[in-house]
């Protein structure tokens, strides 16, 4: 990585000699911002993945609760039918 950085800085210095310092500075700023953007994209992707996993886990719990409540309501319905039959 250090060799690549030295190469890039060397190229920027060469550009400064040929094109002027402002162009080289602009290229350096764009290069730096690109690196920052890549880091932010990785963080956003990780955050999104964590959020998706959280939603999936919550959905699984909601489905489990709904299934449990359905079973309870079915049992209660059967109970009410039995009580109704006993009263006849």
CA distance 72 to 86: 21
Structural domain boundaries enclosing 10? 2-87
Which sign does the torsion angle of CA 36, 39, 45, 49 carry? negative
Q: What are phi and psi of 78, to 5 degrees?
A: -65, -40
**Which pLDDT tens digit goes with each residue over 12-64?**
778 777 877 777 788 888 888 999 999 999 999 999 999 999 999 999 999 99
Residue 88 DSSP one-character state: -
CA distance 63 to 52: 16
Please tell me whether the overall predicted TM-score, pTM, comes out greater than 0.75 for this model.
Answer: no
Domain count, the chain: 1
């Amino acid at each position: 990585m250090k060799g690549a950085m030295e190469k890039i800085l060397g190229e920027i210095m060469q550009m400064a000699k040929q094109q002027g310092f402002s162009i080289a500075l602009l290229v350096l700023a764009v290069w730096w911002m690109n690196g920052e953007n890549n880091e932010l994209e990785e963080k956003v992707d990780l955050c999104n993945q964590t959020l998706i996993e959280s939603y999936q886990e919550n959905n699984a719990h909601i489905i489990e609760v709904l299934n449990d409540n359905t079973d309870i309501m079915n049992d209660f319905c059967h109970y009410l039918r039995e009580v109704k039959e006993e009263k006849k």
